[in-house]
Chains A and B, each alone.
Chain A
Amino acid sequence: MKRRTLLATAALGLGLTFGGAAMAQDKTKACFVYVGPIGDGGWTYQHHQGALAVQEAFGDKVEIAFQENVPEGADAERVLTQMALSGCNIIFTTSFGYMDATNAVAAKFPDIKFEHATGYKREHPNVSTYNARFYEGRAVQGHIAGKMTKSNKIGYIASFPIPEVIMGINSYYLHAKKVNPAVELSIVWAFTWFDPAKEADAAKALIDQGVDVIASHTDSTAPLAEAAKTNGAVIGFGQASDMAEYKDGPRVSSIIDNWAPYYVKRVSALMDGSYAQADAWEGIAGGEVEIGEITALVPAEVKAEAEAMRDAIAAGTYHPFTGPINKQDGSVWLADGAVAPDGDLLGMNFYVEGIVGEIPQ
């Protein structure tokens, strides 16, 4: 009997908790779907910081809900439906692979706003997309990589062959090549956003091949941890988050995704009624992409050059994809002085001239 009483009490307690949440209908509920755990120290961590910023900005007037580790695919659709039914007013889906699921669920819930990160499909009026111009940060990293490599071999741990990642690879390579014509780029496709062991293995494979500067497009700090084992022979960059814990080691700079301003802006617009469908793509200028502190491992003049490039991009006087740039097959992509149109970037499916290897299909 005692055990039963205990269970009943527990059930009652749970009921009260959920009941309390359901009753708060006058609040705006902002929900977030994450592809990894909020403790990944990278991509998802930064999105969650944005979510917390929303909570901070509006206090009692908003309610935050989120779900971690949601696989890209059919599961995402179930999670989104569940969120929509649980009273979310706006749902942020924070990975490229949620694109179709977001649009499919949005069709069923026209009153709920959906915001999909890094995608390009807005099939319904209630779907907006937002992204950050990470390639601007990659340009700065490429510059540092080209200057810093001693073996003239630089590496890139890529996740999935989507325009977003290919853009990063091209930008990184172009700017390394510009300052170091002898540079060679090795690319490893990990086919995962988050698998620390595999990311570490990928970094190790690159290091075994003589690569001494590693940039990664996956979400954990594992590549930096692997680079740290070489006692300074190999350097890398923080990805998505500052990864400041490796500042005294291999991390020489970083790209920081700052989603907070966008999330606060959108939730605020929803609350005051000025919300409209959008296709946001801000970069260094808009504060969504930040370049983390460049450490003392980088010589002062290289640091100054990198910072000058950052400032030029922010001021709009320099675009990382400025011609002449040829495609891998030698055909012309951008003529001398031409600047890449956004459409080309968002659909980018080719390497630039000089990169060896093929993009997986």
Chain B
Amino acid sequence: MFGGIDPALLIAALMVNSVPIMLAATGELVVEKAGVLNLGVEGMMIMGAICGFVTAVVTGNPYFGFVGGALGAVALSAVFGVLTQVLQTNQVATGLALTLFGLGLSSLIGQSYVGIKPPATGDLALGPLADIPFLGVAVFSHDWMVYASILLVAGVWWVLKYSRMGLVLRAVGESHEAAHALGYKVTRIRFLAVLFGGALAGLGGAYVSLVRVPQWTDGITAGAGWIALAIVVFASWKPWRVLAGAYLFGGISVLQLNLQAAGSAIPVEYLSMAPYLITILVLVIMSSGRGKAALAAPACLGQNFHASR
């Protein structure tokens, strides 16, 4: 116990809190590793939130809900893919437009779903693990998406680092000209990466509307997509650092609310700005370290590619 807060409950809360931004950031990391800057994460997340919600309510099955959420966001990311990869539009502008479009469309789809409760996503039964003192409450008492999101980070890390697929993806992001010269289909690879990013953003969004705040209201993701984008930079495009960044950000957000609820003597203003302050602080520290972090961005990030060049 410190400051009247139970650390086990705090860890439990931060693990749940971090899932949406972690999923979305992992997806965006893959997209950016392929050299595409998709600023539409917020739009894809909220599409995932409403599509997941609608699917779960209609089918009565939360698992289908997550599939539906992922598919809804994939559909939106496909729009981005076609526009930027085929029609060669500006990625920044298209991404921002995607967010606005997603927010509006989700609001339209969700109009008749306000005030409905989705089917509950139960906690995963981990048997004896859940009875371990401290760890049982803190780590082993969550729903399956919490663990799935960590596995996804591990999977993305392994694929990017050790598999041929990851190597090709990184090559496309570092130098699309060279990858093209070697015979890799740059546009196709990027398109697939964009779809993958959409799927994960959609899962993150569905997690918000199905588990974290089990309901639908307009604008439910409330900026989580932007935080996810920041975390990718914060993590200098490394999967495990995405996990760390998401936990850090989620953890501080939860901590400041808990400190308030526990009647901490620290003024609320400091607590409220803590997440942002620490994000800035870590960014400064990381980018000052031998300029390494600045070099970690994929070289072709945000540049369009056309084979005719």
Enumerate chain A interface residues (CB-CB to B < 8 A): 36-41, 68-69, 155, 186-192, 194-202, 204-206, 208-209, 211, 220-222, 225-226, 228-229, 244-245, 356-358, 360-361
Which residues of A sit under 8 angstroms from B254, Cβ to Cβ? 201, 205
Q: Output the residue of B9, B214, B218, B262 with the most chain A CB within 10 A.
A: B218
B279 near A: Cβ within 8 Å? no
B282 near A: Cβ within 8 Å? no
B224 near A: Cβ within 8 Å? yes
Q: Chain A residue with minimal CB distance to B9?
A: A208
* Distance in Å: Cβ of B271 to nearest Cβ of chain A: 9
Instruction: Evaluate contact between A197 and B212: CB separation under 8 angstroms.
Output: yes
Instruction: Evaluate contact between B4 and A209: CB separation under 8 angstroms.
Output: yes
Instruction: Evaluate contact between A38 and B222: CB separation under 8 angstroms.
Output: no
Name 16 A/B residue pairs within 8 A (Cβ), A-sorted: A186-B263, A190-B257, A194-B219, A197-B213, A197-B222, A201-B253, A205-B254, A208-B5, A208-B258, A209-B261, A220-B213, A222-B217, A225-B214, A229-B214, A244-B115, A360-B267
B17 near A: Cβ within 8 Å? yes
Instruction: Evaluate contact between B212 and A200: CB separation under 8 angstroms.
Output: yes
* Distance in Å: Cβ of B297 to nearest Cβ of chain A: 29
- Interface size counted on chain B using CB atoms at 8 A: 40
B92 near A: Cβ within 8 Å? no
* Distance in Å: Cβ of A325 to nearest Cβ of chain B: 22
Encode contact with A along B99-110: 1 for CB under 8 Å, 0 otherwise: 000000001001
Which residues of B sit under 8 angstroms from A38, Cβ to Cβ? 218
A200 to B262, alpha carbons, bound, how many Å?
16
Which residues of B sit under 8 angstroms from A39, Cβ to Cβ? 107, 110-111, 114, 217-218
Contact of A201 among B4, B13, B269 (CB under 8 A): B13
Instruction: Evaluate contact between B261 and A186: CB separation under 8 angstroms.
Output: yes
Instruction: Evaluate contact between B257 and A41: CB separation under 8 angstroms.
Output: no
* Distance in Å: Cβ of B126 to nearest Cβ of chain A: 19
Instruction: Evaluate contact between A357 and B257: CB separation under 8 angstroms.
Output: no
* Distance in Å: Cβ of B116 to nearest Cβ of chain A: 7
A36 to B111, alpha carbons, bound, how many Å?
15
Q: Chain A residue with minimal CB distance to B6?
A: A208
Instruction: Evaluate contact between A37 and B261: CB separation under 8 angstroms.
Output: no
Contact of B263 among A36, A199, A222, A356 (CB under 8 A): A356
Instruction: Evaluate contact between A225 and B213: CB separation under 8 angstroms.
Output: yes
Contact of A205 among B13, B220, B224, B268 (CB under 8 A): B13
**A-B residue pairs, 6 tightest by C-beta:** A37-B218, A205-B257, A245-B115, A39-B218, A360-B268, A195-B222
Instruction: Evaluate contact between B222 and A194: CB separation under 8 angstroms.
Output: yes
Q: Chain A residue with minimal CB distance to B110?
A: A39
Instruction: Evaluate contact between B215 and A221: CB separation under 8 angstroms.
Output: yes
Q: A197-B220, A209-B261 are in contact. Are A41 and B114 (CB under 8 A)?
A: yes
B221 near A: Cβ within 8 Å? yes
Contact of B219 among A36, A209, A226, A357 (CB under 8 A): A36
Enumerate chain B interface residues (CB-CB to A < 8 A): 4-6, 9-10, 13, 17, 20, 107, 110-111, 114-117, 208, 212-215, 217-224, 253-254, 257-258, 260-263, 267-269, 272
A226 to B267, alpha carbons, bound, how many Å?
26
Contact of B267 among A194, A198, A205, A358 (CB under 8 A): A358
Q: Chain A residue with minimal CB distance to B12?
A: A208
Q: Chain B residue with minimal CB distance to A198?
A: B222
A80 to B261, alpha carbons, bound, how many Å?
37
Q: Chain A residue with minimal CB distance to B264?
A: A357
Which residues of B sit under 8 angstroms from A37, Cβ to Cβ? 107, 217-219
* Distance in Å: Cβ of B125 to nearest Cβ of chain A: 17
Instruction: Evaluate contact between A222 and B215: CB separation under 8 angstroms.
Output: yes
Instruction: Evaluate contact between A220 and B217: CB separation under 8 angstroms.
Output: yes
Q: A201-B13, A201-B254, A205-B254 are in contact. Are A187 and B218 (CB under 8 A)?
A: no
Q: Chain B residue with minimal CB distance to A187?
A: B260
Instruction: Evaluate contact between B208 and A202: CB separation under 8 angstroms.
Output: no
A229 to B13, alpha carbons, bound, how many Å?
14
Q: A197-B222, A201-B13, A360-B269 are in contact. Are A188 and B261 (CB under 8 A)?
A: yes
Which residues of A sit under 8 angstroms from B214, Cβ to Cβ? 225, 228-229
A225 to B261, alpha carbons, bound, how many Å?
18
Q: A197-B220, A358-B267 are in contact. Are A205 and B215 (CB under 8 A)?
A: no
A206 to B263, alpha carbons, bound, how many Å?
10
Instruction: Evaluate contact between B260 and A211: CB separation under 8 angstroms.
Output: no
Contact of A221 among B4, B217, B268 (CB under 8 A): B217
Instruction: Evaluate contact between B257 and A201: CB separation under 8 angstroms.
Output: yes
Which residues of B sit under 8 angstroms from A228, Cβ to Cβ? 117, 214
* Distance in Å: Cβ of A227 to nearest Cβ of chain B: 12
Which residues of A sit under 8 angstroms from B272, Cβ to Cβ? 189, 191
A187 to B262, alpha carbons, bound, how many Å?
9
Which residues of A sit under 8 angstroms from B261, Cβ to Cβ? 155, 186, 188, 202, 205-206, 208-209, 211
